[in-house]
Amino acid sequence: MNVPGYLPVAAPASGAYPITFGFDPPERVARWRPLVNWILAIPHLIVLYLLRIAAEALSVIAWFIILFTGKMPPSFAGFQAMYLRYEQRVWTFASFLREEYPPFSFDTTNQDPGDDTRVRVDATPALENRNRLTVAFRLILFIPWAIVLAVYAIAAAVVIIVAWFAVLFTGRWPTGMRTFVLKVARFYVRVSAFLLLLTDDYPPFSLDWD
């Protein structure tokens, strides 16, 4: 889904991956933000840790439900979508990509409620007629994406370290660096949605795929 004003790191609605991520970047970031944002994010990080435990537990329960019924409970899908959305809101703040403090919002909706001015994560989960075979072997199928994600994550971490100095001295994220980091975030959201059983569609490996 493309939203006016949002950096096009989410695929377009036509033929889009079932999980989309968009970010509306600020023109400038206060130079002191790299020094403190990660500290200010601690309350959110604690909540995020608890949500991650719940999301992983729900994915295990959903695994059994899908294998036996071929369906995913809508309430489970809504929670997983909320978790992925909340995670990106917290991550973009902790990574000093934004100044606005993320809301403590837990709307278990597939479509983003729009209560965050910077981050948008929308989901179109597969609720029925699930592919039980790929669900049964989801952890094994996940391995190639986990390897690629690890490589991307290391590269993104290096870019964030370089950007830390750039923002500290200039008050701006270099556009190319920010775009790369956000594309890695999009890849992470898609892979996470696949692992959390929101979809049976295989995530693309390319960061530039739309």
Predicted local distance difference test score (pLDDT) of residue 208: 79
Predicted local distance difference test score (pLDDT) of residue 209: 58
Q: How far apart are CA 87 and CA 66, in angstroms?
A: 25
Predicted local distance difference test score (pLDDT) of residue 210: 55
Predicted local distance difference test score (pLDDT) of residue 2: 40
Is residue 108 within 8 A of residue 79, CB to CB? The reply is yes
Q: 10 Å Cβ neighbour count for 11?
A: 21
Cβ neighbours of residue 120 closer than 8 Å, sequence gap 6 or more: 1, 3, 6, 10, 20, 21, 22, 23, 24, 112, 114
Q: 10 Å Cβ neighbour count for 154?
A: 11
> Block means of pLDDT (10 residues each) for the chain, length 210 residues?
45 66 95 96 98 98 98 98 98 97 96 95 96 96 97 97 97 96 97 97 84
Predicted local distance difference test score (pLDDT) of residue 6: 52
Predicted local distance difference test score (pLDDT) of residue 7: 55
